[in-house]
Amino acid sequence: MRSKQSIKSVNKKQLLKFITCGSIDDGKSTLIGRLLYETNSICNDQLEDLKAKSLNNKNILDLSYAVDGLSAEREQGITIDIAYRFFSTNKKKFVVIDAPGHFQYTKNMVTGASNASLALILVDSRKGIIDQTYRHTVICHTLGIRKVILLINKMDLIKYDKEKYYKITNSFLKLVEKFSFDEVSSIPISALSGDNVTKNSKKMKWFLGSNLLEQLENITLRSSKKTIDSSIFSVQLVNRPNSNFRGYCGKVLSGALTKGQKVLVHPDKISASIKNIWSGFNKSLKANVGDNVTLELKEDIDISRGNIITSENTDIEYSNMFQATIVWFSNKPAYAGRSYLLKINNKEVKCEINTIKYLIDITSDKKLYSKKVQTNDIAKIQLCTDEAINFLAYNKSKELGSFILIDILNYETLGCGMIEFQLRRSNNLHFQTFDINKSKRQELYGHLSKVLWFTGLSGSGKSTIANELAKELHKLGIHTYILDGDNIRHGLNKDLNFSDEDRIENIRRIAEVSKLFFDAGIVVITSFISPFKKDREMARNLFDEGDFIEIFCDTPIEICQKRDPKGLYKKAKKGLIPNFTGIDSIYEKPKNPEINLNYRYSIKSQVEYILKHLKLFLIN
């Protein structure tokens, strides 16, 4: 580095993290390269290499080469991946988060914005405010950024036109009137030539404001009134090297912790006190925000990963139902009724999206009503977790208010979210217990209750086999009830069609009804195509291991089409039945069903095969 600042002096300075946003070729990389260059933050050997590669015909250094690291970025002249750059001045140290401008890299930009306190929004002076400007402004606001500097770049290409600058500035100010930004300012710049970046431009003397670097140095990041000032520590690992030591490793998310301090352990709000604070192998008297330390408590308390330790009288919320904003990354849509894993603050719980309230059109900020959330969509949702969790609203704590959603089957990260508030009904709804419960009903009937979940294509034999099985179980004195796809759609689910969204809701309702019958001590036999793995997994997750038995009628579609007992395949091929499974809608075969039925065997043989499997489970 060319800078002579000592590491010790840099560490004492206040840190500002900011994100650069802009459309393709608005000059983000050149701007960041200019800031690095002017603050002596480029290594000498890197600078020499930069000069050799990037001097253009006018002998002007192309500083974008200092930023665009991927070969694909240099070849295309765009930013693809998110990148973090560091520089400092005499007053402050900075982390620049360089976000891609392409629509398809929205998830990268969201990741960057979630770590920033300030946004620099670039526009090309020749183009003015465009859809991407609005998109990035909405995303920054959604992610909690409340300070924005509009940089109108490439002023040299419009001959430093004062009137054009003010016209673009006024358009932007009108655009952001609906948002609750704390501060919005505007600067005319030329990142290529350095005008108003680190020095005031002699070519734009009409601009009386500060240059960009001065504004960055002098900006104050005051805490919002809603921000939690209490001490909060998140437990990541229980450290137990021997029977004489129990420590809790984690990070101080806010405030500070001191030796001897009285604390609360959440969610049970158990009082304790800090015996020691360990930083590595050394004891410390204090741990500040951002420090990764190990806490040793005087009291022996059952604490595990995901628990929260706070200063006394800290109000951490605890609930299992929330309203949240999510940004969807995956090319597989999100649907109401689908189950996912939710990871928040080192804790993983199963969750379900109850309601998709609306999508946010980030080119107009309008509400769009939809039954699914697709790639790069931003949506307001309501979700429910299987167990209550500790949290704070995102506008109070980014760490305790942000989460990711994960695919239960393959552990793919699907999206991220920000909790807005808990739903009041989560505190008002409680499970009512009764003296006559499932166990007593099973005792009365003389058998265990189970869910026998038949799945397979239309015409695979589900309903026929389910009917014959019910007859045999009835002979054995076992109480059963069949939930059949066609019958249910005449009543409970008559409001649903056969779109993917409604198929998901169809199975969700059936799973919940099955749970009620199961609790009543009945052996529930369901006969539904249930084409999606995730929905069958959602149904399975409602029950304990061994209580849900998946029975796959493994009949090839060619055989199903030959059978075609209801003539549905013929109608589907003529286009009379849209979204018909096996024709124009997929069927995802079970990978490991408890029972796999071979279509080559007779109905009687298949029923006998099922009974052999079930006797171990059903007869006391």
Confidence at residue 220, expressed as pLDDT on a 0 to 100 scale = 80
Q: Which residue has the tokens 């010790």?
A: 8
φ and ψ of 114, to 5 deg: -65, -15
Nearest-angstrom CA–CA distance, 536 and 591? 11
Consecutive H or E run containing 298: none
pLDDT for 427 = 58
Instruction: Enter the tokens of residue 170.
Output: 């006024």
Beta pairing partners, 585: 581
Task: Work out whether strand 292-297 and strand 308-311 pair parallel, antiparallel, or are unpaired.
Answer: unpaired
Residue type, 601: Y
Residue 208 to residue 187: CA distance in whole angstroms: 10
Bridge partners, residue 237, by sequence: 249
Under a CB-based contact definition with an 8 Å cutoff, are residues 277 and 286 in contact? yes
Asked if residues 552 and 596 have their Cβ atoms less than 8 Å apart, the reply is yes
pLDDT value of position 161: 96
Using CA atoms, how far apart are residues 440 and 448, in angstroms rounded to an integer? Answer: 10
- The answer to pTM > 0.85 is no
- Alpha carbon 328 to its chain centroid, in Å, reads 7
Q: Please choose, from the candidates 489, 541, 479, the residue with its C-alpha nearest in 3D space to the C-alpha of residue 511.
A: 541
Residues of the chain with pLDDT under 70: 1-12, 50, 52-60, 65-66, 68-82, 101-106, 221-229, 363-365, 425-432, 615-620
The confidence score (pLDDT) of residue 582 equals: 86
Rounded to an integer, what distance in angstroms lies between the CA atom of residue 342 and that of residue 352?
Answer: 9
Torsion of CA 359, 360, 366, 368, to 10 degrees: -10
Question: Which DSSP letter does residue 432 get?
Answer: P
- Kindly report the average pLDDT of the chain as a whole number: 86
Report CA Rg, the chain: 30
Q: What is the structure's pLDDT at 58?
A: 54
Alpha-carbon distance of 1 to 4, in angstroms, equals 8
Give CA–CA dist 14/35, Å, rounded. Answer: 18
Task: Give the number of residues written for the chain.
Answer: 620
| Catalytic residue positions, numbered | 530
Among 381, 391, 384, 393, which residue's Cα sits nearest to residue 426?
384
Walk me through the domains of the chain, giving residue ranges and CATH numbers. 7-218 (3.40.50.300), 232-311 (2.40.30.10), 317-428 (2.40.30.10), 438-618 (3.40.50.300)
